[in-house]
Structure 1
């Protein structure tokens, strides 16, 4: 009924009939998940506050934790580590996934403890998260528990041998361990099960690239594009590969398609900036600005913008970018060194010496 009306009209009537706004909590949680999915970390404080709430929904909390793995913001760690002690095994498993691959000492210790969790899901997520732990980073008893949990993980992925997704997960596990032949075997098996499986094609391309088989890597990405031509990750990886092969014009086209599909993909804008710089600083600066705006928490993008601004002779703007960068990231020594060069180019030797002193103190 009411096919001529929209959702806002229906919502307005529901609110008239029901004074209790029962939709609001769900919409608030959904908005946080949506922001995390888009990589919008301007709402990170609200996400972390939700995870700490005693009345938090465990499914929403688990979803947020998995998405937090993509964030490089340091302030996420207290909430992630606390979630590894959560009463819910679903939340603990998601926290282990969020902490996966971290070099943060507290994260390594927390993941090591999770290897002894009473729930297998938590143990195997912790094992997957510790595949890149540094040599010597785990005590002997923890290494033994890691071996047992890793065996559980592999066995759980082989329960359904005809599941392409499980094969991809196993391939990613081997890839993170540097076992290229085993990783490729799993990705290729996944593609025999489902030749149109885009994650299998993308991850196979990464493994082929690491193995030096770039013809196969490109073929896999081209096959993925035939399935999903507007997939940002596929276009991005193709752009990186073509750039590595020296095919700059094609690389730029692929990266531009990646950015068009996902305007939060700062790495695509950053690589376009670097590719454009030899021919046009104006175009390079345009892309650098987009990268810095998309990921203000990543100092590399602001630094690169300032570097090319200096090259274009825009010393005042370069100094402003670097002053903001060093204020937000006081541990980023390269920012102070470039700031010293800009001050020197402007004839301000005292400010240059101060910036160099701060760089040496990092």
Structure 2
């Protein structure tokens, strides 16, 4: 199916190291602790924000035979595949993009007006072309010509081309649904939200740029062709829409094979009929469908069927980033793309879809995927429609006598509750009208909703009822859920650093019961637990067969200092998958050259250049330059870091991380006045940005402007109360300025929302200790010792405070 992708961003290189630094409590006064924290690099490690369709792959000749295939177009395919061609015409893939004509434009351009937050736009035709008069650059109203249509169901977007080759996505969309369903109207893609011209999401800015954000997944053989020196695009394609060769690969060799067959010539020299990728079950692994009586369900005889097909679909039907444009059909997806794990900004803790993540990440969690079900078992790949409608599609494998009965679903027949998808594929609405279903095919778990804050399909329909009501009915109908922890429980606890969760993460990561994406997420979250047990598991995961798991293990090993990573990661520079080895190069980039042999140094530099190339693929987007700047800063190449951050700001002046990182380079060079100028400029652009206020507060601590520093640190804590670090630093700063009562109040309030945060517990312990309130200090030290039994410093701190409290005549009170 086609899904509009404009404005959707995903993470690329996750560069969020976890460093837990504990200073000896017996010789580290509080002021030293705040100074040590404030002198740490204030780098905002911004992951590269990428659209689902950031740019089109190119043909890779490295893996091809001496004679490479090239694109021939669907009209060449038609004579031999007329039935398939007929199914394809009018499909969502066929209509993914087109030129704006009377035949393709569905919106009302009959001199129609649309008002959104007092911005009135007008749509009209003139001389056979389509136009919109609306707010444009810097809020100035002007006329724009519609060049392309974008999508068709349930909405159609419109693209405007500028003289420098940029194609921008108009935020005003046409609802193509029938009028009785609320359609046949203009609407704004951000609903009731007003996006002003200085916002990074404004339609003329980079976040709404088609060339970067959307193009790869809407056309065939698309090449972005961005010229960084001239800041221009010359984007090209073989076919404007998603045609045959997007899935089947360049078809010239297959055409040659077919013509040779027709002439009766020998075709043994052609592998797989000259196809770039074979999307059927291999003949030597023929699949039969077996009936499982206990489940009353048919399953394929092998769970390893057509993995290439699933990964091929994932190129566009996933939340992923591109790391190399030389995609080769049939080669590992992670050699060119980076699909996201189940991160909490994208998915709910239990893996349900939250943000716009498309199907791949949720499908990988499903039992169906693990059993060997593939996309085309349910979806016709040519018409892009479901093979059957309603429950009949599910009954293709699941016996209707069992799963279609009221004894199974407990709802009246014919109502929504009797529909399989309503319980097992909950829906969320994106882009105002676009309903997407979760493809994890999960069993409803209302019992998880209260604890984890996740939705459940029972209360999705019965919104007037409580989760307890839903859990009670679910228990009566299906019994109590199995006692073992759901991975959602584990991920929820791990994201909050609850002690002891590392054991559960290790079990998930090392076991084979869960899908690779669940295991990869467990590996990702192990970074929150820098223990010997976690390190041992991460070392094991470096050898895992799945490259996504290996890549997450590489990044999680950032819990070690750079020199500590060498022995584990150096061999990984030779990993066959590009994603893994570029992660390794980035992790090893800060390692001093004296710790590497000549051959290791040469190998590292080779892959570092490969990492730089992955960033320069998207030199039109500011975060690529942020990532490069972070790389150069880690390597002490300050001039290059400054140039990279300045380039990020030049590309998108509203992109605040560029200013923060630029100021930090100046800090590293003892040029805080330059940094102050940069941050003041950023505050002018974004006066309510918590990261800027935090950075300015840190700068003023360094320059001795303590009163002003407290103002900015307080502002950051107020603007982003969910950010524990901001409140922690503000509390420490208060104490350093002889305001311990206020510091205690801030830290306690923050601790109430983050009860296991060791920095908060250490700080409260030390403040009370320095005030001579040893009994109070002991309460927090006891929590540290109990929560982190492996940390000998915490154990010693507790014992020391017991002695001090006893000397003072206080009865030790270690209760919370």
TM-score normalised by length of structure 2: 0.37
The 8 Å contact of residues 307 and 338 in structure 1, kept in 2 or not, is answered as no
Instruction: Specify the alignment match of 1:7 in structure 2.
Output: none
* CA shift for structure 1 position 333: 3.5
Paired position in structure 2 for 1:285: 744
Q: Which residue of structure 1 lines up, in the alignment, with residue 611 of structure 2?
A: 153
Q: Measure, in 2, the Cα distance between the counterparts of 1:50 and 1:158.
A: 36
Per the alignment, residue 194 of structure 1 pairs with: 652
Deviation at 1:172? 0.6
C-alpha distance in structure 1 between counterparts of 2:683 and 2:493, whole Å: 26
- Pairwise mapping of residues 136-151 of structure 1 onto structure 2 (< 5 A)? 137-151=595-609
Structural mapping, 1:86-97, within 5 Å: 86-97=544-555
Among 790, 793, 805, which residue is 1:333 paired with? Answer: 793
Instruction: Give the C-alpha shift of residue 106 in structure 1.
Output: 7.4
Aligned to 2:419: 17
RMSD, aligned α-carbons: 3.9
SS at match of 2:548: helix
* Partner residue in 2 for 1:306: 765
CA–CA separation in structure 2 for the residues paired with 1:193 and 1:270: 34
* Contact residue 593 and residue 601 of structure 2 kept, 8 A: no
Farther off after superposition, 174-183 or 125-134: 125-134
Q: Which has the higher helix share?
A: 1
Match of 1:73 in 2: 530
**2:633 match:** 175
Is contact 1:162-1:193 (8 Å) kept? yes
Per-residue deviation, 1:335: 6.7
| Structure 1 CA distance for aligned equivalents of residues 679 and 518 of structure 2 | 33
The question of whether the paired residues in 2 share the 8 Å contact of 1:61 and 1:91 is answered with: yes
Q: Larger deviation: 41-50 or 21-30?
A: 21-30
- State the match for 2:730 in structure 1: 272
Secondary structure of the residue aligned to 1:100 is helix
Counterpart CA distance in 2 for 1:62 and 1:199 is 28
1:121 matched to 2:523? The reply is no
Is the CA contact 1:270–1:288 (under 8 Å) kept in the aligned structure 2?
A: yes
Superposition deviation, residue 58 in structure 1: 4.4
Name the structure 1 match of 2:664.
206
Q: CA deviation at 1:187?
A: 0.8
Gaps of 5+ in 2: 1-179, 183-410, 425-440, 446-453, 455-485, 812-816
The secondary structure found in structure 2 opposite 1:115 is: helix
* CA shift for structure 1 position 175: 0.7
More deviation in 215-224 or 134-143? 134-143
Residue 281 of structure 1 contacts residue 308 of structure 1 at CA under 8 Å; is this kept in 2? Answer: yes
SS, match of residue 574 in structure 2: coil
Match of 2:807 in 1: 347
How far the C-alpha of 1:282 sits from its partner, in A, is 1.5
Q: Please name the residue that 2:369 is paired with.
A: none
Judge conservation of contact 1:102–1:108 (CA < 8 Å) in 2. Answer: no
- Which of 470, 492, 497 in structure 2 is aligned with 1:41? 497
State how far apart, in whole Å, the 2-side matches of 1:203 and 1:14 are. Answer: 52
Higher strand share: 2
Distance 1:222 1:275 in 2: 21
Equivalent position of 2:691 in the other structure: 233
Query: How far 1:99 sits from its partner (Å)?
Result: 1.9
Provide the rounded CA distance (Å) in 2 between the counterparts of 1:189 and 1:56.
43
- 1:81·1:95 contact (CA, 8 Å) conserved in 2? yes
CA distance in 1: counterparts of 2:511 and 2:684, whole angstroms: 44
Relative to 1, partners in 2 of residues 1:105 and 1:93: Cα closer, same or farther, differing over 3 Å?
same
Map Cα deviations across residues 40-74 of structure 1 (whole Å, 9 max, x no partner): 223655555443443645456556655655x2532
- Taking a change above 3 Å as real, the CA distance of residues 97 and 341 of structure 1, as seen in their structure-2 partners, is closer
Contact map agreement 1:265 1:294 (CA 8 A) in 2: no
Please give the alpha-carbon distance, in whole angstroms, between the structure 2 residues aligned to 1:110 and 1:88.
18
Greater CA drift, 119-128 or 52-61: 52-61
For residues 256-295 of structure 1, the C-alpha deviation after alignment (integer angstroms, 9 at most, x for no partner) is 3333344453332332222222443211112233455566
Deviates more, 1:88-97 or 1:41-50: 41-50
| Matched positions, count | 340
In the alignment, the residues of structure 2 paired with residue 324 and residue 208 of structure 1 have an alpha-carbon distance, to the nearest angstrom, of: 39
Q: Is the 8 A contact 2:563 2:591 kept in 1?
A: no
Highest Rg: 1 or 2? 2
State the SS of the aligned residue for 2:807: coil
Preserved contact between residue 86 and residue 92 of structure 1 (Cα < 8 Å): yes
1:215 and 2:673 are equivalent in the alignment: yes
- The aligned counterpart of 1:165 is 623
Residue 359 of structure 1: aligned partner: none
Distance 1:197 1:150, change over 3 A: same
| 1:109 and 2:597 correspond | no
1-side partners of 2:622 and 2:490: how far apart? 30
Look up the SS of the partner of 1:196 in the other structure. coil
Q: Offset of 1:170 from its aligned partner?
A: 0.8
Contact (CA 8 Å) 2:778, 2:801: kept in 1 or not?
Answer: no
In 2, the alpha carbon distance for the partners of 1:195 and 1:85 equals 42
Farther-moved stretch of structure 1 (234-243 vs 116-125): 234-243
What is the CA deviation profile of residues 207-263 of structure 1, one whole-angstrom value per residue up to 9, with x for unaligned ones? 121122223323333444455555443333232222222232332233233333444
Give yes or no for the alignment of 1:247 onto 2:710: no
> What stretches of structure 1 move > 6 A for 4+ residues in a row?
25-36
Residue 357 of structure 1: aligned partner: none
